[in-house]
Chains A and B, each alone.
Chain A
Amino acid sequence: MDFLNAIVALSNFVLIPAMTYGSQLALGALGVTLIYGILRFSNFAHGDSMAFGAMATILVTWWFQSMGINLGPLPTALLALPFGILAMAAMMLATDRVVYRFYRRVKAKPIVLVMASLGVMFIMNGLVRFIIGPGEQRFADGARFIIKARDFKEWSGLKEGLVLKTSQGITVITAVIVVAALFWFLNRTRTGKSMRAFSDNEDLALLSGINPERVVMYTWLIVAALVTIAGVLYGLDKSFKPFTYFQLLLPIFASAIVGGLGNPLGAIAGGFVIAFSEVTVTYAWKKVAVYLLPESLEPSSLVQLLSTDYKFAVSFVILIVVLLFKPTGLFKGQSV
């Protein structure tokens, strides 16, 4: 019995949260890796793009809520998501038009685009705070739980109750759908293949009649969808705060690099590696230990390796360890 209790506690505080966080990171890292592979720079504005997309969705959600439109047990934000994606796509295409296109025309080396994206990051960051404010916003509604602790306890007779939040369930399911759709698109459709061709060899893509500007446009559209979905899922799961999203840039980049930059499969694997290590290292293991160990060995401390304040440090330690042994990331990325 104690063993089962330990597993339930572990699921509650490690497995399910890490799975959820990992899905969010994976979606974010997929966007980073697509831009790296196709537009050839690391987009520093990624975290703040997530904030912008989430903000647009939140505004529409509030509007829907004020009109009494909802999805019943599901959060209204899901209904608002397509509108958020549209707003984000418009924003990204506008940014590309105003900022990045110029550098592509003059064949600027990618480092110049990295620095340009840093500027875009600050502008996006300011814009989001200006529109929705720097504070924390809540927009989740609908049923809070899929599995409630009390129901689970009654059903199973265990001391520990399993909890599965609606936001966690939605995050994982959405991530699976989005990733499957993205892979199908990249590997099976003509447009997806042309994006891979452009990533592989820009000049030859031009010789094959592939329009580079079209490829770039599709990339921004897909990235807009990815960042908005990632941003909204993160906001539903935790809460929306512009600064948190800016900070998310760090674990997202760590995920993309650990997995192998430019490799979509790697981005997903990287997201889960980073999420699981962050959660495992910063979790207080006392509860699980109490269930598993005999009474005499019961720990007196919390058995927490690191305070959650250090969670970003964890992603970077993982990053360094992986790069020391596999410089191109877990999956073969394009960076050397």
Chain B
Amino acid sequence: MSSTPFDNRGNKDASIVNPHGQGTAIPVEAGGHARPAPGGPFLSGEAMTGGYGKNGPDILHNCSISVDRGEIAVIVGPNGAGKSTGMKALFGMLNLREGHVKLDGEDITELTPQARVVKGMGFVPQTQNIFTSMTVEENLEMGAFIRTDDITDTMEQVYELFPILGDKRNQPAGELSGGQRQQVAVGRALMTQPKVLMLDEPTAGVSPIVMDELFDRIIEVARTGLPVLMVEQNARQALEIADKGYVLVQGANAHTGTGQELLADPDVRASFLGG
């Protein structure tokens, strides 16, 4: 970043600048419109090419990801493969140079992230995915920010799915444990009653027991018919529950298939699943 004229210039004085919580995404600018694009899967990124910033190098190269109704699609791949970037691209958190994003028969490539939320997309980022200074309940309320109808029913459903959150509803989310935070994060995304749920490594940094439970909850959510698109480090466990799997390498599709196919594929096994 030191090459840009707008960097920090060596300043470390937090009494004049507030480094806390500043956004890093340069999202799609406002003013774009959705265009009808009938057919195809429910949510799909087609031949996406792009990277961060105006002149940043391309991270995604002709990458395609899709998920259809009632499916769990999983993206796996080595570190730096562009898994998270692919998710952000689907959500409009970065500008695509080429390719399209389609949702429910519409081309939404030009829509801002907040417009995509209104269209029914829910996204749980990998890190900093809760409002730490706000209570659990306020986190859920913010999740439902775009809704103008009564949200109490949805909130009760989230508390039913994650009972621990109900007990801690008035506690600041920043005081919760790692697993509970992830539950808040998923709950926040569910509050919009999304038509598709995108999870970026929901099990990062939680203990194996909590991880199993989170996977169970995610399957439970997917069984209601909500399409789930997920990035996972625990490739084997994730592919086992996946209807569709994508293996990304250096920002491009390396292998695609059903979860079972990928688990059986000797190439995939050798390179990503440890034999």
A107 to B11 alpha-carbon distance, docked (Å): 16
B209 contacts partner chain A, Cβ-Cβ < 8 Å: no
A153 contacts partner chain B, Cβ-Cβ < 8 Å: no
A212 to B22 alpha-carbon distance, docked (Å): 12
25 A–B contacts, CB within 8 A, in A order: A37-B18, A41-B16, A106-B4, A110-B16, A193-B138, A193-B141, A194-B145, A196-B133, A197-B134, A197-B138, A199-B133, A200-B131, A202-B22, A204-B125, A205-B142, A207-B91, A207-B117, A208-B117, A208-B188, A208-B192, A209-B114, A211-B114, A213-B30, A261-B18, A334-B14
Report if A110-B22 is in contact (Cβ < 8 Å); known contacts: A42-B17, A208-B145, A208-B188: yes
When distances are taken between beta carbons in the complex, the residues of chain A under 8 Å from B117 are 207-209
When distances are taken between beta carbons in the complex, the residues of chain B under 8 Å from A196 are 131, 133-134, 138
A288 contacts partner chain B, Cβ-Cβ < 8 Å: no
When distances are taken between beta carbons in the complex, the residues of chain B under 8 Å from A110 are 16-19, 22
Chain A, residues 25-63, CB within 8 Å of chain B (1/0): the string is 000000000001100111000000000000000000000
Nearest to A43 among chain B residues (CB) is: B16
- Do A210 and B24 touch across chains, with their CB atoms under 8 A apart? no
When distances are taken between beta carbons in the complex, the residues of chain A under 8 Å from B16 are 41-42, 110-111, 114
When distances are taken between beta carbons in the complex, the residues of chain A under 8 Å from B23 are 107, 202-203, 206, 212
When distances are taken between beta carbons in the complex, the residues of chain B under 8 Å from A334 are 14, 18, 20
Interface centre among B14, B26, B132, B189 (most CB of A within 10 A): B14
Task: Please classify how large the interface on chain A is, using the bins under 10, 10 to 19, 20 to 34, 35 or more.
Answer: 35 or more
* A contact patch SS: helix
Q: In the complex, how many residues of chain B place their beta carbon closer than 8 angstroms to a beta carbon of chain A?
A: 45
When distances are taken between beta carbons in the complex, the residues of chain B under 8 Å from A108 are 6
- Do B6 and A106 touch across chains, with their CB atoms under 8 A apart? yes
- Do B17 and A114 touch across chains, with their CB atoms under 8 A apart? yes
Report if A204-B129 is in contact (Cβ < 8 Å); known contacts: A107-B24, A193-B138, A261-B18: yes
A40 to B8 alpha-carbon distance, docked (Å): 13
A336 contacts partner chain B, Cβ-Cβ < 8 Å: yes
Report if A204-B8 is in contact (Cβ < 8 Å); known contacts: A41-B18, A42-B17, A111-B16: no
When distances are taken between beta carbons in the complex, the residues of chain B under 8 Å from A336 are 14
Report which A residues bind B (CB closer than 8 A): 36-37, 40-42, 103, 106-114, 190, 193-194, 196-197, 199-213, 257, 261-262, 334-336
A193 to B142 alpha-carbon distance, docked (Å): 8
- Do A109 and B9 touch across chains, with their CB atoms under 8 A apart? yes
Report if A203-B18 is in contact (Cβ < 8 Å); known contacts: A109-B6, A194-B145, A208-B145: no
When distances are taken between beta carbons in the complex, the residues of chain A under 8 Å from B132 are 200-201
Task: Quote the shortest CB–CB distance from A300 to chain B (angstroms).
Answer: 43
- Do B18 and A190 touch across chains, with their CB atoms under 8 A apart? no
A208 to B8 alpha-carbon distance, docked (Å): 28
Task: Quote the shortest CB–CB distance from A56 to chain B (angstroms).
Answer: 28
Chain B, residues 1-39, CB within 8 Å of chain A (1/0): the string is 000101111010011111111111111001000000000
Apart from A36-B18, A194-B145, list 10 A-B contacts with CB within 8 A.
A106-B4, A107-B22, A107-B26, A112-B6, A193-B134, A199-B21, A204-B131, A207-B123, A207-B189, A208-B188
